[in-house]
Amino acid sequence: MSTISVIIPAYNAERTILETIESVLQQTFSDFELIVINDGSIDRTLELVGTVKDFRVKVLSYPNGGVSVARNRGIAHAKGNFIAFLDADDLWTTDKLELQLSALQLHPDAGVAYSWTHYMDEQGKYFHTGESITFKDNVYANLLVTNFLGSGSNPLIRRQALESIGNFDPTLTHAEEWEFYLRLAARWPFVVVSKAQILYRKTSNSASSKIEVMEKESLRVIDNIFQSVPLELQFLKNQSLANLYRFIAHLHLTYISSTGQAKQASKKLQMAICLQPRVLLDKKTQFLLIKLLLVQLISPKVAGYLFRILSKIRAAPV
C-alpha cells in the first residue's frame, strides 16, 4: 500500500495533463499512487494519459460529473494513509509531497498540511508570488474569512481527517474546496510548509473566470457554514462577505472587456466597503480603486489590455 494517494480529476485537459502528471512523477517522495479520474473528457485526455508508463499511475474513466464528484470517485479508490489532490492544469514543485508529509509526521495531531502558492499565466511562462500565510494549529477563524489555501491543488490530508468529515459536496461547482477545508478546520489542526510549492495556472476558462456562478456558490457556502459557526465567531461573517465581494470585484477587473463589468466591479467593491469599512486600509482594496479609476479614464478594453501588460511586467519567468 502506498503512503500517499494523489488524485487528479481531469476533464478535457489535453493541453496540460501530461505536464501535471510529470510534476507528480518527479516528486522527491516516491511512495505514492497516482489516480487520474477521467471525468468524461471528449478530447485527447484519455489517450495522452495512456502514454504514461509508470506502475504508480492508475486511470479510471467515468461519465462527466464535475470536479467534486471526480475527486470523490478518486477518494473511493485511494489506498494511501494521506490524500492529495491536484487539478489537471496545476503543477507542484518536486519537494511538495516530501515536505508536507514531514510536517504531518512531526505533528501527529494535525490533519492537514498546506503550502504557499505561485500563480502562472495560461502558458505557464510567468508567475506572480502569492501571499505568505503562516496560520497553523486552529485555523478555523482564519479560514472563515478567506480561503487562504487558494485551490484544490494545495493540501496533503491525513486519511483519518478526511474520513471524519466526509467527501466534497457534489452539489457545489465552485468554492467546493473552501467548504471542504472549513469542515476539516472545524475538527483538525493545520500545519504550514513555509514555501511556495503549488503553481496555480490562471486561464481564461478556469473556474475563477465564471464570476457570477462563483459568487453565487461562495455566498451559499458562507450562508450554510455560518449557520453552524459558534456564536463567538459570528462577527466574522461580514468580513467573510467583504473579502468575497472584493475578490469578485478583482475578477471583474481581471477579465474586464465591457462597461458592464466595470460597473459590476465598482458595485461589488462598494458592497465590500459597506460591510467592512476597514478594508479601505488594505493595499488590495486601494489597488482595485486605482484600477477602477483607470477604467473610468480610458475604455474598459484598453484598460484590460493595459492591466495584462502591467501584470506580465510585474511577473517573473518560471
In three state form, how does the secondary structure of 98-150 look?
HHHHHHHHHCCCCCEEEEEEEEECCCCCEEEECCCCCCCECCHHHHHHCCCCC
Q: Considering the entire predicted model, what is its pTM?
A: 0.91
Dist. CA 50–CA 74, nearest whole Å: 17
- DSSP codes joined into one string, 215-268: HHHHHHHHHHHHTSS-GGGTTHHHHHHHHHHHHHHHHHHHT--SHHHHHHHHHH
All residues at 6 or more sequence positions from 247 whose CB lies less than 8 Å from its CB, including other chains: none
Dist. CA 288–CA 267, nearest whole Å: 12
Phi, psi of 150 (to 5 degrees): 90, -45
How far, rounded to the nearest angstrom, does the alpha carbon of residue 71 sit from its chain's CA centroid? 14
- Per-residue confidence (pLDDT) for residue 239, from 0 to 100: 97
Cell numbers 478567506 correspond to 146
Dist. CA 247–CA 230, nearest whole Å: 25
Q: What is the DSSP letter of 195?
A: E
- Per-residue confidence (pLDDT) for residue 207, from 0 to 100: 47
Dist. CA 198–CA 118, nearest whole Å: 6
Question: Where along the chain do its domains lie?
Answer: 4-201, 235-317
All residues at 6 or more sequence positions from 307 whose CB lies less than 8 Å from its CB, including other chains: 253, 254, 256, 291
Averaged over successive runs of 10 residues, the pLDDT of the chain (318 residues) comes to 94 97 98 98 97 96 97 98 97 98 98 95 74 95 96 97 97 94 98 96 65 94 96 97 95 78 90 95 91 80 69 58
Name the architecture of domain 4-201: Alpha-Beta Complex (3.90)
- Per-residue confidence (pLDDT) for residue 136, from 0 to 100: 96
Q: Residue 284 carries which side chain, given as an amino acid letter?
A: K
Give the up-direction half-sphere exposure of residue 165: CA atoms within 13 A in the CB hemisphere.
Answer: 19
- Per-residue confidence (pLDDT) for residue 79, from 0 to 100: 97
